[in-house]
Amino acid sequence: MKPRKRRKWLKPLGSIPYQLYLSLSITSFVLLIAVWSAITYTKWVDPLFLPSPTAIIQAGITQFTEFDFIQDIGSTVYRVLVGFAIAAIIGLPLGVLIGTFKIFEAFLEPMVSFIRYMPVSAFIPLFILWIGVGDVEKMTVIFAGSLFSIILMIAVEVGNVRRELIEASYTLGSSTFGILRSVIIPATMPAIMEIFRLVLGWAWTYIIVAELVAAPSGIGHVILESQRMLRTGNIIFGILVIGILGLLSDLILKIVIRKMFPWNYGR
């Protein structure tokens, strides 16, 4: 490998070959499993606190074959996607309005910012009191945890649209609605989709909080029940499944975004 080529790969915001990118990504996971194996198979850590990879696999097989873990996964995915989708549908227009019009910013932005700093987990007792302990309560936790971040992040992105584009549209006779439709939305949609991708990742972390309280099903319910029975392998397996589901949703959204806006991304 030529030194000049290596320096090119270390160039800020530079690109690297896809094969190298994939190899490095796989290597990071291999190293993690290697360290984990070295710690557990040598009994350096008590298996009660950190089971080996083999024990985790065995726990996972048991979950799928004896405890209908597929249904728990389905319940969790359903709650996350529905709660996040509702937050995205409501948050998109509100974020655009706040970022576009100062009158909406003055009216909504302080309140949204104030609510965003309130921990969503603190509202769970109220949600249970108001809604009950069913799926709607779990979706409400995801919705509340996602909505306000979506609104503010979209508002910031919309507010950064180049003023020259808006002034040029006014010069060409565009109306306010026309500028929203033909300038602001097209200019910000790639970034807005990236915001959705980022916040969806956060939504996967909220679901565990939601399902740890009075949930009859779901991965969080499995984790809580395993903790009570000191089944550490099941706990770690549940956490790994959440990570895999989150990674899959992230990769799917990443592919969709690149297909929708190919001009916005380099190779």
Question: Would you write out the chain's pLDDT as a tens digit for each of its 267 residues?
Answer: 455 555 666 777 677 788 888 899 899 999 999 999 999 998 888 888 889 999 999 999 999 988 889 999 999 999 999 999 999 999 999 999 999 899 999 999 999 999 988 988 888 888 888 988 888 999 999 999 999 999 999 999 998 887 777 777 767 666 777 778 778 888 899 999 999 999 999 999 888 888 877 778 889 889 888 888 888 999 999 999 999 999 999 999 999 999 988 877 654
pLDDT value, residue 19: 87
50: left (phi over 0), alpha (psi -120 to 50) or beta: beta
Domains and CATH numbers, the chain: 74-264 (1.10.3720.10)
pTM confidence score: 0.85
Q: Is the separation of the CB atoms in 256 and 196 below 8 Å?
A: no
Distance CA 124, CA 201 (A): 20
Using DSSP's 3-state secondary structure scheme, residue 75 falls into helix
Structure confidence at residue 267 (pLDDT): 45
8 A C-beta contact, residue 237 and residue 245: no
**Start-to-end Cα distance in the chain:** 21
Is residue 257 within 8 A of residue 190, CB to CB? The reply is: yes
Burial class (CB in 10 A: 0-12, 13-18, 19+), 211: buried
